[in-house]
């Protein structure tokens, strides 16, 4: 068994500015200041919620439409229903890719 030289290892000292204890009061600036709201942050927030609502219904439709079409024409065959699920996942992935591309383009203009 190999011997380790642990005598020369010095423990690292904690930075006293970063060490916090439970009895410390929160009167310093560690999160006590409210975030600064600028025009850019308001615009990004509104864009975020717009794209969130926009992508939610598109994802639901892009998955459910192929699934229900396959379900309607399956005639009790499981393989056609599975094909509808796979097609729904494929269309959902395509929708996500297109929406991410649109979001990136919109963020460049902010």
In this structure, is residue 8 part of a structural domain? Answer: no
Query: Could you give the CA distance from residue 62 to residue 69 in angstroms, rounded to a whole number?
Result: 12
In this structure, is residue 105 part of a structural domain? Answer: yes
In this structure, is residue 109 part of a structural domain? Answer: yes
In this structure, is residue 41 part of a structural domain? Answer: no
> What 3-state class would DSSP assign to 72?
helix
Indicate the DSSP class of residue 18: T
Position 28 pLDDT exceeds 60: no
Domain that holds residue 100: 62-110
Query: Could you give the CA distance from residue 41 to residue 44 in angstroms, rounded to a whole number?
Result: 5
Predicted model pTM: 0.58
In this structure, is residue 78 part of a structural domain? Answer: yes
In this structure, is residue 42 part of a structural domain? Answer: no
Give the relative orientation of helices 39-72 and 78-108 as an angle to the nearest 10 degrees.
Answer: 160
In this structure, is residue 96 part of a structural domain? Answer: yes
**44 confidence band (pLDDT: 50, 70, 90):** confident
The pLDDT tens digits of the residues spanning 48-107 come to 888 888 888 999 999 999 999 999 999 889 999 999 999 999 999 999 999 999 888 888
User: Looking at the 3D structure of the chain, how many domains does it have?
Assistant: 1
């Amino acid at each position: 068994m190999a011997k380790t030289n642990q005598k020369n290892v010095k423990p690292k000292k904690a930075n006293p500015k970063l060490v916090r204890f439970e009895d410390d009061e929160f009167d310093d600036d560690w999160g006590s200041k409210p975030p600064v709201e600028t025009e850019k942050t308001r615009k990004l927030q509104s864009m975020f919620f717009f794209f969130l609502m926009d992508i939610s219904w598109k994802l639901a439709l892009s998955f459910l439409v192929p699934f229900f079409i396959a379900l309607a024409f399956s005639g009790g065959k499981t393989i056609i229903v599975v094909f509808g699920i796979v097609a729904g996942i494929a269309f959902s992935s395509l929708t996500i890719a297109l929406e991410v591309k649109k979001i990136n383009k919109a963020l460049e203009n902010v």
